[in-house]
Structure 1
Amino acid sequence: MSSINNISKRFALILIDPQNGFVNDGCWSRMFPIGQSIPILETFNRIASFLHSISNPDSIPILISQTGFSHYDRQIFEPINNELSQRKFHSITHTYKPHTNLSICPGVQQWLNEQLEAKLDIVIGGCTITSCVRDSSIQMKKKFPELNFFVDENLCAARKDNYLERCQRCLERYMNYALPPIEQCENCLKKDSNQQIISPVQLAYQQMKDAGINIIKNSILINQSL
């Protein structure tokens, strides 16, 4: 089992859908009230800063997925794209992802096999935590149990409402049917200590942990030394 300490120099990076469509006036962002995509915008900027901090860009394999937006919305968020091009990240693989499961997208299994042969850990960032990041990381771990997957909390995000804690009934409404919490739900409001109150984001992280995914913060990657 690889230690977190070793990731600082030896890792590959997966960026799930770091596209314009998820932020600002992008097509996905516009489906929700103003401000809902702010956590994703902040995370995309952190991804750009993280890429800038990597001291050995020429030796970091990167896999980037893009979902089915068109034109401007499909493009990679500009600060991220600038870092990728200007910092000389030479090993970049792109794949089209029409669903939440990255593991079955074209070229992904071959890419993961290459990282397994190179004995690299996999760091995952992108959006959203409750859907594509959760589903993709769990499914990749199932297909490649020998690989160490690290989902980075600082490099992942979801829309703002998904950080709000909910009762079990409202949580199931969201996870099963993508429905919002019941308006003025008494169980959510009173936060009875006898029942579990948890956000969709917290639940997604717990499900990833249960599947064998490591949950970390990227300050570990930057500050730890071998």
Structure 2
Amino acid sequence: MEYSSVQLNDLPDEIIFIIFKKLNKLDVLYSFINVNTRFNNIVHDPTFTSDLTLFNYLSYDYIYPLSDLILERFCLQILPKIARQIKWLDLEPLSMKRIFLSANYPNLFRLGIYYIKKQAALNLFTDKTSVMHRLKNDILSFTINTINTQQGASINLDTLVFTHIFNMFTNLQYFNFDPFFLCYQRISFGSSPPTVFSSTLLELHVKVMYIQDCLYLLDGRFINFGHSMLI
């Protein structure tokens, strides 16, 4: 009996789609986009393009960028082709600017930034030339995870970043300022009420230092507030 050889391209679209779903999205896009028209049609499905995590991680506290080779292909060849389909991006700070400059993302409404230094996060939301200003009216859901590189200034920086994010994203509905349980990311407003207000926020996840900080955030400044997680 002779052995038969079945190539991937010999399989029906439905089977190929199932196989691709079992693989890492980035690997699928990197390996199969622009291979041929058939694979292009399959990998342009929202399953592979609507939400992307453009970094690697071994654990929640160890995140690192994509390799230069992979990032270059994504920025030059892949992201410009699928940018209109992307609704959700999770990014790390080293490659974030390059990713945003590689294409326009007209349907992006959900964004996560992970493992960014606290001072760099503050600069990102105070610098009027930063890429965040392009998205200030579009982002409805935002998550940020910062790391501390300075001693003694963590709470003040966290509070400033928290405040400036509300000033930046005017239509925010979901805000997670503490995405990881082990993340030491806390805010405190001292004896003065915060200057943040929102008529759109529905859900907030944040750690506060004192009960007074919690009361400030629950005093009606978030008009449509539906759910909170204040620790």
TM-score category, normalised to shorter length: 0.3 to 0.5
Instruction: Give the structure with the larger helix fraction.
Output: 1
TM-score (ref. length: structure 2) = 0.32
- Point out the structure with max Rg over C-alpha: 2
Greater relative contact order, per chain length (Cα 8 Å cut-off, separation 6+): 1
